[in-house]
Amino acid sequence: MTPPLQVAVIGAGVSGLATARALKNSGHRIVVFEKLSQLGGTWLYDPRVESDPLGLDPTREIIHGSLYKSLCTNLPRQLMGFSDYPFPESRNGYSGDRFPGHEEVLKFLNDFASEFGLVELIRFDCEVVRVERVGSRNDRWLIESIWCNNLKSKEIFDAVVVCNGHHTQPRLATIPGIEKWPGKQMHSHNYRVPDPFRDKIVVVIGQGPSAVDISRDICEIAREVHLSSRSPNVKVSKLVSLNNAWQHSMIDCVNKNGEVAFEDGALVQADIILHCTGYEYCFPFLKTDGIVSVENNRVGPLYKHIFPPKLAPNLSFVGLPYQTAVFQSIGLQAKWVSHNLSGSRLLPSEEEMAADVEEYYRQMEAKGIPQHHTHCLHLKLEFLEWLAAQLGLELGSGIKEFLRVD
Ligand SMILES: Cc1cc2nc3c(=O)[nH]c(=O)nc-3n(C[C@H](O)[C@H](O)[C@H](O)COP(=O)(O)OP(=O)(O)OC[C@H]3O[C@@H](n4cnc5c(N)ncnc54)[C@H](O)[C@@H]3O)c2cc1C
Ligand SMILES: *[C@@H]1O[C@H](CO)[C@@H](O)[C@H](O)[C@H]1NC(C)=O
């Protein structure tokens, strides 16, 4: 066991909280930097939206959260907890609903943070604006932060864990003709309530949970909702159970008279296009001289989505993988990071880690998986099992029923 390290954790969402707990258990000294005035990250519902509904204007004030008011989890409550701190069934303010509302997840995170004494480790209203290697051997980390929008400070840490989330910067669909299309556009990041869609004809692009949820939300008051999906073999069809919603293929192009033309031949005179097309990874504060970069939504190179081989174990990322049991996955990642910061020589050599990353990329390519799916786990059990094995832990049984074994 090495002496306790000074560790900076960036963000107090699920990832930052799980990481803080794991590091605290190992006796490290931790500061959790959180730019908002409360913990919870994504699960903190924020009724405000950004000034640019597509998120393109670089001078806009950024709102972190993307939750809409009606959101319930898309995973059953058994998968919304950590393996050693489960999401409660119905008691003390917990509903017992199979898919709890977002307020309940926030309550869970607050309970988790109080129970393990994490709240006092968080520096609220403190935004990290720069993270950079410093020191005579370049082996320490400078963190520059701004407290309450005005007080700048610089501090040195032994290690940094990046937990800043990845559901804030919109990823947009490219649509031929969009520059001249006269309607309104919005990304789901800025969707909160259905009211602005009253009596409108809306095209919703996407096929993830947000696209489905939001379509259901707005079709109550919109005139028509047309869902556009990328998956092949989609036929124009009326959506069952909704009387004013249709499923289409991809958009072919849009015209200056307001028409949206779908590849399936349908033409719709639409008022609004709503992009439910996901998000970009984004680390505006991180300066690594190109050692870690984001290219087409691939953060890399990262060994097991967590450690840049050249900077391991002192720089790490928790919370990047998606399409998995997110809380369980984050809990394991956090423990593994803490484990590697506490011991010595647990990770393979830099060369071996780099080769592992290359091999992972090669396999993705061979299977025809696009680069922007690098951190997508496709609901497979493999990564979680690998992490659990590194830690000598068993995965809970509920998770095995939910995720696929290949
Ligand atoms: C609409 C929507 C629905 C979802 N539904 C589910 C679901 O049903 N089930 C599920 O398991 N997951 C769901 N997710 C995924 C969700 O993102 C994860 O559950 C989880 O919130 C990820 O936590 P995180 O800590 O990695 O990121 P976040 O929750 O985004 O937290 C990041 C934190 O970092 C802070 N931060 C960022 N930058 C800085 C900085 N420079 N300085 C200081 N602080 C900073 C932010 O303020 C924030 O508090 C959903 C996501 C979205 C967007
Ligand atoms: C990681 O941090 C420790 C403690 O500051 C330091 O001794 C070590 O050299 C660092 N490792 C790297 C690869 O920079």
Give yes or no for residue 406 having a pLDDT over 60.
no
- Reported confidence tier of residue 398, pLDDT bands at 50, 70, 90: confident
CA distance 48 to 186: 14
The minimum-distance atom of ligand 2 relative to the CA of 310 is 13
Distances (CA, A) of 367 to 302, 315, 375: 20, 30, 15
Mean pLDDT taken over the chain: 94
CATH homologous superfamily of 6-37+72-168+279-402:
FAD/NAD(P)-binding domain (3.50.50.60)
pLDDT for res 235: 59
- Reported confidence tier of residue 91, pLDDT bands at 50, 70, 90: confident
Q: Which residues contact 96 (CB under 8 A, 6 or more apart)?
A: 77, 89, 90
pLDDT for res 395: 85
pLDDT for res 239: 66
CA distance 285 to 156: 15
Give yes or no for residue 92 having a pLDDT over 90.
no
CA distance 307 to 315: 7
- Give mean pLDDT, residues 381-404: 87
Of the ranges 90-94, 106-110, 266-270, which one carries the lowest mean pLDDT score?
90-94
- Return the CATH number of the domain spanning residue range 172-275: 3.50.50.60
Distance between Cα 356 and ligand 2 center (Å): 22
Nearest CA to ligand 2 atom 3: 158
Nearest CA to ligand 2 atom 1: 314
**Nearest Cα residue to 9 out of 156, 165, 158, 163:** 163
pLDDT in tens, 93-144: 899 999 999 999 999 999 999 999 999 999 999 999 999 999 889 999 999 9
Residues of the chain with CATH 3.50.50.60: 6-37+72-168+279-402, 172-275
> Nearest 5°: CA angle at 2, between 33 and 330?
45
Nearest CA to ligand 2 atom 11: 139
Share of the chain above pLDDT 90, in %: 88
Ligand having the closest approach to the CA of 125: 1
pLDDT in tens, 349-374: 999 999 999 999 999 999 999 999 99
The DSSP bridge pattern shows strands 159-162 and 6-10 to be: parallel
pLDDT for res 402: 80
Distance between Cα 229 and ligand 2 center (Å): 47
